[in-house]
């Protein structure tokens, strides 16, 4: 029996704390976005997604990460079906601050909107309290102090337990100015928000093929006791080893427009998957589990939040928390060639 098989039977998961509030969650979270948004619509299955959430909770994956914009709104409604029965088993993390338009996304950080958005999310999620309320994007037209102050009021009223901030994407931070660090803009926002109310978590991309947050953002969080939710730790599915170069994606799938998912770049980045597979074979694990274990090994405050929409993948992801990589494994992964085809 493989190590994964043994771990799956045990069904236990390491616990980690998020932020100064010491909010305890399972070491691996569940990103719920693929169940309702951004990935191929023809492959969505609401009933299977509900089973996936139940399976995640059964395996100790307590942090369920969603947002009002996923769908929009349908992802929170889906989670509400589960939370109605199992609220005590879950750590609910949702987001506000982005509105879905016809062809684009619009940031909205106005205090009145934040209050209305929170109330609407509570109704859809069928709960009285959101454990972690995250600002999806900072509105460039509203001082973050105003937005964060409105969110802090939600904590005071008991509607929210803690606050988090999603990092500005790499492309936006590159526009912050010549010579600026990749996450300089995000860190400036964090410093200002901290002066209003404690930031419990930051969510940003972190994976073997996107390790940029290790340079400045993760050290900033670790030095201040801020939890780090690692978004896309499986590289939008690429690091699972289940995607093949040239397979193509339907037009509504975000990967159809991602520079790393062209046939040329997927082929060029195969050495990353091959390296993860070599490590996985030594441990009786899968490449995805090795990718998640690598993310967990970066700092005690890191909680990877892989997206998944089937019970099979949520069970496999949860088992990664028990995979302890050796120093030699981490060194081998560090020596792999960097990913090609980054966002421009």
Task: Tell me the angle at which helices 311-319 and 3-10 cross, rounded to the nearest 10 degrees.
Answer: 100
141: exposed, middle or buried (C-beta count within 10 Å: 0-12, 13-18, 19+)? exposed
How many CB atoms are located within 10 Å of the residue 242 CB?
14
CB 241 within 8 A of CB 287: yes
Q: C-alpha 168: how far from its chain's center?
A: 13
CA dist 313 and 286 (Å) reads: 11
Helix (H) or strand (E) holding 80: helix 74-86
Q: For 146-185, give the secondary structure using H, E and C.
A: HHHHHHHHHHHCCCEEEEEEECCCHHHHHCCCCCCCCCHH
CA dist 342 and 170 (Å) reads: 10
CB 249 within 8 A of CB 181: no
Catalytic residue among 39, 70, 133, 183: 70
Q: Select from 321, 255, 231 the least CA-distant residue to 285.
A: 321
Beta bridge partners of 65: 31, 93
Residues across the chain? 344
The reply to whether 70 belongs to the active site is yes
Task: Tell me the angle at which helices 311-319 and 46-58 cross, rounded to the nearest 10 degrees.
Answer: 20
CB 31 within 8 A of CB 38: no
Q: C-alpha 175: how far from its chain's center?
A: 23
CA dist 122 and 105 (Å) reads: 22
Classify 37 as helix, strand or coil.
coil
- Active centre residues (catalytic): 70
């Amino acid at each position: 029996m493989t190590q994964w098989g043994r771990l799956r039977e045990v069904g236990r998961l390491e616990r980690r704390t998020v932020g100064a509030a010491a909010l305890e969650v399972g070491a691996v979270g569940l990103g719920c976005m693929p169940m309702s948004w951004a990935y191929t619509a023809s492959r969505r299955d609401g009933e299977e997604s509900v089973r996936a959430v139940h399976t995640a909770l059964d395996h100790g994956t307590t942090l369920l990460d969603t947002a009002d914009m996923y769908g929009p709104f349908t992802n929170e409604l889906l989670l509400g079906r589960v939370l109605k029965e199992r609220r005590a088993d879950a750590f609910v993390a949702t987001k506000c601050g982005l509105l879905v338009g016809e062809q684009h996304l619009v940031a909205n950080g106005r205090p009145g909107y934040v209050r209305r958005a929170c109330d609407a999310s509570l109704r859809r999620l069928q709960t009285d309290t959101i454990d972690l309320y995250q600002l999806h994007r900072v509105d460039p037209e509203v001082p973050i102090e105003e937005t964060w102050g409105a969110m802090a009021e939600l904590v005071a009223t008991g509607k929210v337990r803690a606050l988090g901030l999603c990092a500005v994407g790499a492309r936006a931070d590159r526009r912050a100015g010549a010579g600026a660090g990749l996450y300089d803009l995000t860190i400036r926002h964090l410093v200002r928000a901290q002066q209003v109310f404690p930031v419990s978590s930051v969510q940003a991309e972190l994976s073997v093929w996107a390790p940029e947050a290790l340079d400045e953002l993760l050290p900033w969080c670790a030095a201040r006791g801020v939890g780090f939710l690692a978004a896309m730790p499986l590289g939008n599915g690429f690091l699972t080893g289940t995607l093949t170069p040239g397979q193509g994606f339907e037009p509504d799938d975000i990967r159809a427009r991602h520079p790393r998912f062209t046939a040329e770049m997927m082929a060029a980045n195969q050495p990353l998957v091959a390296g993860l597979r070599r490590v996985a074979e030594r441990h009786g694990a899968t490449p995805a589990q090795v990718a998640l274990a690598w993310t967990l090994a970066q700092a005690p405050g890191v909680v990877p939040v892989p997206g998944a929409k089937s019970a099979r993948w949520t069970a496999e992801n949860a088992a990664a928390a028990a995979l302890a990589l050796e120093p030699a494994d981490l060194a081998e992964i560090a020596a792999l060639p960097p990913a090609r085809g980054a966002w421009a």
